[in-house]
Amino acid sequence: MRLHTRLVHAPACGDPFRAAATPVYQTATFALDGDTLAAPYDYSRSGNPTRATLEAQLAALEGGERAFAFASGLAALTAVLRLVPTGGEVVADDDLYGGTYRLLSHLAPRQGVRTRYTDACDLAAVARACAGRPRLILVESLTNPHLRAPDIAGLARVAHAHGAWLCVDNSARTPLRCRPLEHGADLVVHSATKYLGGHGDVTAGIVVTREPALAELIGGVQNGEGAVLAPFETFLLLRGLQTLAVRLRQQERSARAVASLLACRPEVERVFYPRTEDGAFAPGGGAVVSFTTGCLARTRRFLAALRLLSCAVSFGSVRSSACLPGAMSHASVPEGVRRRRGFAEDLVRLSIGIEDAADILDDLRQALAASATGSSSGVEAQPACARIGAGRHDAARSSHDPERRV
């Protein structure tokens, strides 16, 4: 079966009535024949037919052997970090989701696991960071808000040469655009809260692997720590997955139109969206578009002026939204990393949904125009807005531009 078909047809879950939609087995426990634990299911933390159906579907979509569904993306990442023993080291990209930084920088050290941050797009730098013999290299297949895409096959070679596993957080690309296991990654993680669920109504996380030994370990953590995805949340995810291909296609089409609009607006300084070799905005580049205005006050006026887009964290939903990563989704990124990355405080991250593209573009146009007038707080806005227009030629950047991402 091809991927688009697999999305619609979840594996059969053994329901005796052959229900078309996967039933919600909303039960904590299962009756057993006597005192044996040999039944397929005994207790829902250890296994549940609804969850097993989703896990089998995601394993197939990512080209893995086994998948495990967790209560959130961070619970899934936590399970992966449990593979690193006390005293072990992680090498991580320095352009990660803010919550992942918080996990690596504040919580993992309490278990004796330290992280060295590096630029995952620079394989030589990653190899140097591996001097400490890390057990795990952790990257995102497409970072946000900066939309950088590391070379997964190259990273897998570096990881394996140093005896480490490569884990790729594939939340921002989905298995339709990138299958890291096929490029040598050992583990794939998803915040299924994003595109896989796709409707902004469920928090969920996934780990996929094709190595039986790793599956055994992750399964042990899932059952032993118990941060499993509940049956109803699993059902929502199974339902959301069915439309992933059509949602993503529509979202990407509109996101590209948004990137093109932003690139020629005078209120915008710089646009971040994946690009092709010749510098054009890439088809299949995802639904996240980021941009700077050169001025935090201008950015705040833009966010306040939006009518259709809500000001909200997260991405990948059918509803468009906008956020200020420096203060919202990436507030946990350490100061040093922000400086090194050039993380602009005025950076806006848009997540484009499936509304009519013309309505999205209209809303952005009016909010950009409102951001320039500074009617609410004109005084603070004046000096910092001197850089307006610096990004006007962004779309025409040459292919040698180091800022070109994909």
* Residues forming the site for ligand PLP (CB under 6 A): 72-74, 97, 99-100, 140, 169, 171-172, 191, 193-194, 203, 205
CB nearer to ligand PLP: give 203 or 234: 203
For residue 335, with 0-12 CB atoms within 10 Å meaning exposed, 13-18 middle and 19 or more buried, which class applies? Answer: exposed
Compute the distance between CA of residue 138 and CA of residue 159 in angstroms, rounded to an integer. 10
CB of residue 92 to ligand PLP, shortest distance in Å: 12
Instruction: Please identify every residue annotated as catalytic.
Output: 45, 97, 169, 194
7, two tokens: 């999305």
Name the closest residue to ligand PLP (Cβ). Answer: 73
For residue 139, with 0-12 CB atoms within 10 Å meaning exposed, 13-18 middle and 19 or more buried, which class applies? Answer: buried
CB nearer to ligand PLP: give 294 or 325: 325
CB nearer to ligand PLP: give 103 or 258: 103
CB nearer to ligand PLP: give 190 or 397: 190
Distances (CA, A) of 208 to 162, 191, 231, 246: 22, 12, 19, 23
CB of residue 36 to ligand PLP, shortest distance in Å: 36
DSSP characters for 306-369?
Answer: -SSSEE-S---SSS-EEE-TTTTTTTTS-HHHHHHHT--TT-EEEE--SS-HHHHHHHHHHHHH
CB of residue 154 to ligand PLP, shortest distance in Å: 20
CB nearer to ligand PLP: give 73 or 88: 73
CB of residue 265 to ligand PLP, shortest distance in Å: 26
What's the maximum distance between 2 C-alpha atoms anywhere in the chain? 78
CB of residue 101 to ligand PLP, shortest distance in Å: 10
